[in-house]
Chains A and B, each alone.
Chain A
Amino acid sequence: MTGLLELDDIHTAYGTSLVLFGVSLEICRGECVCLLGRNGVGKTTTMRSIMGLTPPYKGRVRWKGEDVTGSHPHRMARRGIGFVPEDRRIFSELSVWENLDVAQRSAKRPGPWTIEAVYALFPKLRELSKRPGGVLSGGEQQMLTIARTLVGNPELLLLDEPSEGLAPVVVESLLAQVKRLKAEGLTILLAEQGLDFSLALADRAYVLQKGSVRFSGPAGELRENVELRDNLLAL
Chain B
Amino acid sequence: MRRQTVTGVVVSAALFVIAATVPVLGSRYYTFVATDIVIFAMLATSLNLLVGLSGLVSFGHAAYFGVGAYVCGILMKAGGVPFLAAWLLGGVGGALLAGVFGYFCVRLTRVYFSMLTLAFAQIVWAVCFKWNDVTGGEQGYPDVPMPDLAFLDWLPWIGSLRSGDKFYFVVLMLATVSMLAMRRIANSSFGRILTCIRDNLERTQFIGIDVRRHQLVVFTIAGGFAGLAGGLFGIFNRGVFPDFCYWPKSAEVLIMTILGGMYSFWGPSIGAAVLIILNQYIVSRTEYWPLVLGAIMLALLFAFPRGIAGAVGAAWRSRDRFNA
Contacts and interface: CB of A to CB of B under 8 A. Distances in A.
Interface of A: 51, 53, 72-74, 76-78, 83, 85, 89, 91-94, 98, 101-103, 105-109, 148-149, 152
24 contacts: A51-B206, A53-B202, A53-B205, A73-B205, A74-B208, A74-B210, A76-B206, A77-B206, A77-B207, A78-B208, A83-B206, A85-B206, A89-B200, A91-B196, A91-B199, A93-B195, A94-B192, A101-B189, A101-B192, A102-B189, A103-B207, A105-B193, A149-B207, A152-B208
Q: Sort A-B residue pairs by CB-CB distance and give the 3 closest, nearest first.
A: A77-B208, A107-B208, A73-B205
B206 A91 contact: no
A74 B209 contact: yes
B274 interface: no
A82 to B, nearest CB: 8
Contact of B207 (A72, A92, A93, A102): A102
A76 B208 CA distance: 7
B150 to A, nearest CB: 47
The winner among A89, A105, A107, A149 for most chain B CB atoms within 10 A is: A105
Contacts of A53: 202, 205-206
Interface of B: 189, 192-193, 195-196, 199-200, 202-211
A72 B269 CA distance: 38
Contacts of A85: 203, 206
A73 B202 contact: yes
Contacts of B195: 91, 93-94
Nearest to A77: B208
A76 B206 CA distance: 7
Contacts of B205: 53, 72-74, 77
Nearest to A148: B207
Contacts of B210: 72, 74
A123 B208 CA distance: 25
Interface SS, A side: helix
Contacts of A72: 205, 210
Given A76-B206, A107-B208, 5 more contacts: A74-B206, A74-B211, A77-B207, A85-B206, A105-B189
A106 B193 contact: yes
B206 A94 contact: no
B207 A152 contact: yes
Given A91-B199, A91-B200, A92-B199, A106 B209 contact: yes
B155 to A, nearest CB: 43
Contacts of B200: 89, 91
A85 to B, nearest CB: 7
A51 B202 CA distance: 11
Contacts of B196: 91, 94, 102
A76 B203 CA distance: 13
Contacts of A148: 207
A14 to B, nearest CB: 13
Nearest to A72: B205
Given A98-B192, A102-B192, A93 B206 contact: no
B202 A107 contact: no
Given A73-B206, A83-B206, A101-B189, A93 B211 contact: no
Given A102-B189, A105-B189, A106-B193, A91 B203 contact: yes
A127 B78 CA distance: 62
A91 B192 CA distance: 10
B199 A93 contact: yes
A46 to B, nearest CB: 15
Contacts of B207: 77, 102-103, 106-107, 148-149, 152
A148 B209 CA distance: 13
A98 B193 CA distance: 10
Contacts of A149: 207
A159 B211 CA distance: 23
A204 B257 CA distance: 55
Contacts of A107: 207-208
B80 to A, nearest CB: 45
A19 to B, nearest CB: 17
Contacts of B203: 85, 89, 91
Contact of A108 (B189, B202, B204, B208): B208
A106 B208 contact: yes
A117 B195 CA distance: 26
A80 to B, nearest CB: 10
Nearest to B190: A105
A215 to B, nearest CB: 28
Contacts of A89: 200, 203
Q: Which of A85, A91, A108 has the most CB of B within 10 A?
A: A91
A78 to B, nearest CB: 5
